Amino acid sequence: EIVMTQSPATLSVSPGERATLSCRASQSITSNLAWYQQRPGQAPRLLIYGASNRHTGVPVRFSGSGFGTDFTLTISSLQSEDFAVYYCQQYNDWPRTFGQGTKLEIK
Amino acid sequence: EVQLVESGGGLVKPGGSLRLSCVASGFIFSSSGMNWVRQAPGKRPEWVASITTSSNNIFYADSVKGRFTISRDNAKNSLYLQMNSLRVEDTAVYYCARDRKLDYWGQGTLVAVSS
């Protein structure tokens, strides 16, 4: 099973600032990585797929990068609605696996 | 607009059964692989099962293999999850989600397993 490890567990950032979230896979997943945002009481929402492709309707301030085992989600200028939990997930191999999440909180 | 609507959750005793349904609209259901993903309170999402367009290939998490069965009816735009021999640790919100990249999710249905 591919283990996905996210860091940090919690990230405190001020509105308008940049946030950088990391995700590492225990073995290569090429670019088969997705990022999701989850707000309280809601289902996860796809932000990025294929490591760097924005899903339909996702604001341009969200960007993804990486290949192989190391991946990054960057939010360029945080808005109030961006404070949420973010998960990465690999879909390169079975079973599909998620990271433990990064909680992005207001500083 | 893509919509996925789950139903069938509820409270069940350990060892019991439930059948979840997910009705899809806004896209060509028969052309999309589908998935069930669950999330226990305060935990990360956990992939449960996937099924390809014609049901030719089916995959399960080890934690549910032999107890859960995923199926679909393309004529009814519907996805199902038959859950047998339920355990306390199966308690979670169950979501259906489209495609290998889980690009659209339903609102979820709560399954609570408790005596």
pLDDT score at B12: 98
Q: Measured between CB atoms, which of A43, A94, A100 is closest to B108?
A: A43
Binned at pLDDT 50, 70 and 90, residue B52 comes out as very high
Order of strands, edge to edge, in the sheet holding A4-7?
A: A4-7, A19-25, A70-75, A62-67
Binned at pLDDT 50, 70 and 90, residue A6 comes out as very high
pLDDT score at B95: 98
pLDDT score at A31: 98
What's the CA gap between A83 and A102, in Å, rounded? 10
B44 and A CB contact within 8 Å: yes
A83 and B CB contact within 8 Å: no
**A49-76 pLDDT per residue, tens:** 999 999 999 999 999 999 999 999 999 9
A4 burial (CB, 10 Å; 0-12 / 13-18 / 19+) is buried
Q: Measured between CB atoms, which of A49, A91, A99 is closest to B44?
A: A99
Strand B10-12 relative to strand B34-39, pairing:
unpaired
pLDDT score at B3: 98
C-beta atoms of A44 and B45 within 8 A = yes
What average pLDDT does range B26-55 have in this prediction?
97
